[in-house]
Every structure is written in C-alpha cells, then in structure tokens.
Amino acid sequence: MKAIDIRNKYLKFFEKNGHKIIPSAPLIPENDPSVLFTTAGMQPLVPYLLGQKHPEGKRLTDYQKCLRTNDIDEVGDNRHLTYFEMLGNWSLGDYFKQESIKMSYEFLTKELGIPSEKISVTCFKGDEDCPKDVETAEAWEKSGIPKERIYFYGKEDNWWIAGEEGPCGPDTEMFYDTGKPKCSEDCQPSCDCGKYVEIWNNVFMEYYKKDGKYTKLEQKNVDTGLGLERMAMLLQNKETPFDTEIFKPVMDKLKELAKNDDISSRRIVAEHLRASIMIVSDGGRPSNIDRGYILRRLIRRMTRHLNKLEIDLNKLPELIDLNIDTLEKLYPELQKNREVIKEVIVTEKDKFMKTLNNGEREFNKVITRLKEKNINKVDSKTIFNLYETYGFPPEVTKDLAIENGFEVNLDEVDKLFKEHQEKSRMGSEHKFKGGLAEQNEKTIAYHTATHLLNAALKEVIGKDSHQRGSNITSERMRFDFNCDHKLTDEEKKKIEDLVNKWIDEDLDVKVEKMKKEDAIKSGAECMFIEKYPDEVTVYTIGDVSKELCGGPHVKHTKELGHFKIVKEEASSQGVRRIKAILEEK
Ligand code: SER
C-alpha cells in the first residue's frame, strides 16, 4: 500500500468515526518560542488539549508534517529520518481508552489488513505517580490481543510527555512483528533488534506535569501518532523507508549519477534533501541560528555527501525537481513553491562550496603543522576555531580529520559545539512547552501588536512585505518579514509612530468566522493558507489590519501601551527581524 493510500484510509476511517479532518500545521510553529520545528501532531493542539475549545469539535484527525533533529547524525543507517509524517487522531474530552483502542485495532486489522497475530502491545506498568494501566490492557484483550502479547513497561517506555512540562499520561504502543527470529529468549517489543517495530502510539493524557509534580487535567484526552513512512515500509515488506516509493526514485537517480556509490551517503542525500525541501516550502531559510541553522546543516551535509558520491553538483536542481515530483501527491503545496525551494537550496549549496574551499585550505595547513609535529590528533579547540574563523562546519572538519587518519574526540567537539549553539539559540527542541499554552495578558497584547506591526510594515516598506515568522514571550515580540534592505532609522521611526498612532486611536479588535475563500477574497492577510480549515477566524483591527488568525487578541488597541522597536537585524537571506517591546504608558 502506498503512503498516500495509507494516509487517505486513515483520515477517512476516523472521519467515518466522527472525527473532523483538520489541516497539517506548518513545520515551523508560529508564535511558539520554545520549539524549533513541529515535532508531533499534538504540538499545534496543545491549547486544546489544555481545555480551549477547538472550532472543529472534540474529535479531530490529521496528518502532520514533523521534523525531529535529535538523531541527525544517525541518518544514513536503515531507519533514522529527520522529517517524517505523523498521522493522528484526538479526543478532546470525548472518548477515552476503550474506544480509542477499539478504533486502532479495527484500523490496523481491517483497513490495513495486518493479521492480528502480528500485533503486540505495551501498557504502563504503574509507579508512585500513576497506577498500572489495567483498563488499557483489558481493552486490548477484548479487541482480540491475547495476554501473552500484552507487555507492561515503566515510564521510560510507556509514558508520553514532550519535554519536562506539559500535558502527559500513560500510553499504549502497538508493535508489528516483522517475522524475524527472536534475538534471544527474552526478545520483546522493547528490544532494538528489529524483530518488533513500533507502529502507533496512543497517549491517554490525563495529567499535567509541572516542577516534577503531576496534577490531573480537567479534561481527559487521547492523542495518537502513527508514523507514515514506517507503516508504508512495513506494509510494502521493505527493509527500510528508503526502499518505498517515498524515496526510491531519488535513491535510484543518485545511484545512476554516482561515480563512487555508497548507500549510506545516498540515504543522507535523499533524506536531507526531502527535509530541506519541506522546511523551505514552509517558509524556513538558512541562517546561523535556530531553525535556520538546522536547515543550513542539512543542506551542507547533503552537499558534502553529494561530493562524496562524486555527483556533479550542477545536478542539484534536477534532483530537487525529481524529489518534488515524488512528493507532490502527498504535499501539493510543493508545486507552487518549486522555484523558491530550488533557489534557496542551490544558493545555500553554492555558499557552502565557497566556505568549504576556503576552510579546506586552512584545514590542510593545520594538518601539515600537526604532521610536522608528529601529532595524530586534531583537538576540539582547533575544530571549533576553524568554525568560528572560517565558518568551517565542525561536522565537516570532524569527517575530514578522520578521513586523513587523525583522531578526534567527538564528545569534546560536540560539547564545545553544543555550548556554542546553546548560546546562540533560543531554546532547544527538547524544551517543549507549547507557546500558546502560556498565554497571559502580556503575550496576548504582543500578539495583537504583531498584527499592527505587520500592517505598518506594509505601509512603510511596501505591500509585498509579508510575515515570515513570529515569536512571542511575555517580555518581547520578534517578527520576521521579507524585505531586501536594512531598515533606515527613518523607516523604523515611521513604523513605530504608525503602530503607536493606531494604539492611541483605541481601535476595536473584531473577530468573525468566515469561509476561507471569502476571507482571502476580502483581502485578509495570512501566512500559511494551507494551514487553515475551510472555516477560519479573521481578526480585524479598525480598518488597518485584517488577518486570518487563531487568536486570542486584546479587545481594544489602547490595552497595548507603548510600542518600541529595540532591534532590527537580518534574520536570513531576504528576511529581516524586528524585536520590539510594549511599555507601560
Ligand atoms: N504525541 C505522541 C507521539 O509523539 C502521540 O502522537 O508519539
């Protein structure tokens, strides 16, 4: 079964069971300072998991574009991916364990046709925070999974929380038995040998964890996640996701072009190229910090492995086209972004090649010096200095050093590099909190100020200036927009003055629901049209701003106080960033 068919079956099945299909949120979260990318289907739904009413109701289903970067260096083996798609269904205070398990079992066995005996499940075994999940185990038995295929594990395996704080609860995981022999007497789903592959995770969210303490959520939710690539691989009887139709055309093309074939390099190129395409399509651009840096790293690593494969780098646009053609059925939006995707990735590749050439010269000098002194280790400081001075990426120095027969202490390098990254980035992906969950008066005011700033930029910079990202905390707002020049002091002043004028006019903030088409026709501004369902919420501020937005916002602009730009800087190519604060008046 092809990935697109699995996805369609999934959405239809849950729709038939009373769920509303909602669109995937962009890969790049809006208004969420705590995460770099969307890493799970539940992430954009945090406010609703915490009790806010979802406009589409209590039963939702979607496919979500996700990116996880913790295992970037593992890509190249037979299973790790950075970008993946997660199919999910949610109950927001509606059904719970019994019905969730019944539906999962039916979907796996009837819709996908997986024989029941190939399925094993795991449940939470209980500890001092939460009792053993007997109800879940009984529900599985009732569905048709015998006791001997129901396993119980602790929090390390059967508890789900994103990060240290947030909604959480026991989960139940479904495993597919590949039919491979047991690696030992004791081989179980928790074993990594490859016999059992996790296919679906249903989280029964009934707690909120804060400062190490668990309190009961008022609303009990179900949050499930099924990895699309993995399911496609299993149903197609393939050994790796790279053998499915999602990657195969690109993998084959790389093989054809490579003068020095290497399967691991081909996987890295195919995987990183797909991830980069998805990030750029959702508005990401390479830069030296945060998510821009992740994108930069992906493109660099991909370029390096193209070099290793001895593939002519001029073939890159062709490879991007092929990759987009392969993915188009799953993500039709790629078609309209095709040219900008090519432009961004190819430009970054060119930049990297320059860096690579300069850095390689310096690297060779270092190597010669070390050889003269009979030293066979490149120390981590040198690697770091090559990065700081020549922009030479540590992961590349690391690879080159090893290729030249030198030792490197990877842990030391990682440590230095992490320290550097920590300094320059806003927060790690692991530190998941869900920005909207932290709504308070201040963040709501900043949210409204964002709309005013967006409108002011259109007046001062030009109609073509659009929002490219935003990030709000209780202390400040940050707003990215496309613009081809550094703002002058005069422009900054004009923008500030306009926003403050609108604040002083105490404009009404009006909210209304309308059809997406009508909203667009009425000229409402919107960053990611695909993100929105057919019925949308539109916020209008006086006659200065009209935007599709989930809210919330203040009711009158006077509530904002005084708007002040504290910084204006480049964010990435063609994108500027304004940091601004709201002061008491
Ligand atoms: N949030 C859970 C996961 O990421 C289920 O969707 O696995």
Share of the chain above pLDDT 90, in %: 63
How far is the centre of ligand 1, averaged over its atoms, from the C-alpha of 226 (Å)?
A: 8
How far is the centre of ligand 1, averaged over its atoms, from the C-alpha of 278 (Å)?
A: 20
Q: Which of 57-61, 261-265, 364-368, 491-495 has the lowest mean pLDDT?
A: 364-368
Q: Which of 207, 223, 230 to mutate to test the pocket of ligand 1 (most atoms within 8 A of CB)?
A: 223
The owner of tokens 């390390």 is 156
pLDDT at 435 over 50: no
3-state secondary structure at position 257: helix
Q: Which of 35, 38, 86 to mutate to test the pocket of ligand 1 (most atoms within 8 A of CB)?
A: 86
Q: What is the number of the ligand 1 atom nearest to the C-alpha of 202?
A: 5
Residue with the smallest CA separation from ligand 1 atom 4 is 40
The span from the CA of 552 to the CA of 447, in Å, is 8
| pLDDT value for 530 | 60
Tokens representing 167? Answer: 């909604």
CB 37 within 8 A of CB 83: no
Give strand pairing partners of 205.
221
Q: Which of 10, 38, 39, 42 to mutate to test the pocket of ligand 1 (most atoms within 8 A of CB)?
A: 42
How far is the centre of ligand 1, averaged over its atoms, from the C-alpha of 367 (Å)?
A: 46
pLDDT band at 432 (very low <50, low <70, confident <90, very high): very low
CB 565 within 8 A of CB 494: no
Ordered by where they begin, the domains of the chain are 3-238 (3.30.930.10), 247-350 (no CATH), 440-583 (3.30.980.10)
Query: Cis peptide before 170, with omega less than 30 degrees from 0?
Result: no
Q: What is the number of the ligand 1 atom nearest to the C-alpha of 40?
A: 4
Read off the pTM: 0.73
DSSP-assigned states of every residue in 81-126 = -SEEEEEEEEEESS--HHHHHHHHHHIIIIIS---GGGEEEEEE--
Q: Which of 69-83, 106-120, 130-144, 319-333 has the lowest mean pLDDT?
A: 69-83
| pLDDT value for 464 | 86
| pLDDT value for 528 | 63
CB 466 within 8 A of CB 481: yes
What are the tens digits of pLDDT across the range 555-564? 899 999 999 9
| pLDDT value for 529 | 64
How far is the centre of ligand 1, averaged over its atoms, from the C-alpha of 429 (Å)?
A: 15
Question: Averaged over 480-499, what is the pLDDT?
Answer: 94
Q: What is the number of the ligand 1 atom nearest to the C-alpha of 225?
A: 6
How far is the centre of ligand 1, averaged over its atoms, from the C-alpha of 364 (Å)?
A: 46
pLDDT band at 7 (very low <50, low <70, confident <90, very high): very high
Residue with the smallest CA separation from ligand 1 atom 2 is 225
How far is the centre of ligand 1, averaged over its atoms, from the C-alpha of 74 (Å)?
A: 21
CB 420 within 8 A of CB 386: no
The span from the CA of 213 to the CA of 271, in Å, is 39
The span from the CA of 313 to the CA of 350, in Å, is 9
pLDDT at 97 over 60: yes
How far is the centre of ligand 1, averaged over its atoms, from the C-alpha of 371 (Å)?
A: 50
How far is the centre of ligand 1, averaged over its atoms, from the C-alpha of 194 (Å)?
A: 21
Question: Averaged over 378-387, what is the pLDDT?
Answer: 82
pLDDT at 250 over 80: yes
How far is the centre of ligand 1, averaged over its atoms, from the C-alpha of 225 (Å)?
A: 5
| pLDDT value for 424 | 47
The span from the CA of 294 to the CA of 73, in Å, is 12
Q: Which of 63-77, 260-274, 319-333 has the lowest mean pLDDT?
A: 63-77
pLDDT at 389 over 80: no
The span from the CA of 10 to the CA of 255, in Å, is 33
How far is the centre of ligand 1, averaged over its atoms, from the C-alpha of 259 (Å)?
A: 41
| pLDDT value for 395 | 75
How far is the centre of ligand 1, averaged over its atoms, from the C-alpha of 91 (Å)?
A: 13
pLDDT band at 338 (very low <50, low <70, confident <90, very high): very high
Q: Which of 89, 104, 201 to mutate to test the pocket of ligand 1 (most atoms within 8 A of CB)?
A: 201
pLDDT band at 31 (very low <50, low <70, confident <90, very high): low
Q: What is the number of the ligand 1 atom nearest to the C-alpha of 86?
A: 6
| pLDDT value for 423 | 54
| pLDDT value for 428 | 36
pLDDT band at 33 (very low <50, low <70, confident <90, very high): low
Residue with the smallest CA separation from ligand 1 atom 3 is 225
The larger pLDDT score, comparing residue 4 to residue 583, is at 4
pLDDT band at 439 (very low <50, low <70, confident <90, very high): low
Strand pairing report for 119-124 and 150-153:
parallel
Q: Which of 203, 230, 432 to mutate to test the pocket of ligand 1 (most atoms within 8 A of CB)?
A: 203
The span from the CA of 73 to the CA of 82, in Å, is 10
- Nearest 5°: phi and psi at 515? -65, 140
pLDDT band at 543 (very low <50, low <70, confident <90, very high): very high
| pLDDT value for 532 | 67
The span from the CA of 253 to the CA of 320, in Å, is 11
Q: What is the number of the ligand 1 atom nearest to the C-alpha of 203?
A: 5
pLDDT band at 571 (very low <50, low <70, confident <90, very high): confident
Q: Give the helix, strand, coil percentages of the chain, each rounded to 5.
A: 45, 25, 35
3-state secondary structure at position 318: helix
CB 557 within 8 A of CB 505: yes
The span from the CA of 407 to the CA of 417, in Å, is 17
SS3 string of 547-573? EECCCCCCCEHHHHCEEEEEEEEEEEC
Mean pLDDT over each residue of the chain, to the nearest integer: 90
pLDDT at 351 over 80: yes
| pLDDT value for 519 | 85
Residue 564 CB burial class (10 angstroms; 0-12, 13-18, ≥19): middle
- Residues in the ligand 1 pocket, defined by CB under 6 Å: 40-42, 88, 160, 201, 203, 223-225
How far is the centre of ligand 1, averaged over its atoms, from the C-alpha of 573 (Å)?
A: 34
What are the tens digits of pLDDT across the range 165-222? 888 999 999 999 999 999 999 899 999 888 999 999 999 999 999 888 999 999 999 9
Cβ neighbors of 423 (< 8 A, separation 6 or more) are: none
Q: What is the number of the ligand 1 atom nearest to the C-alpha of 41?
A: 6
Q: Which of 14, 49, 157, 224 to mutate to test the pocket of ligand 1 (most atoms within 8 A of CB)?
A: 224
The larger pLDDT score, comparing residue 361 to residue 14, is at 14
| pLDDT value for 433 | 35
| pLDDT value for 38 | 94
How far is the centre of ligand 1, averaged over its atoms, from the C-alpha of 38 (Å)?
A: 12
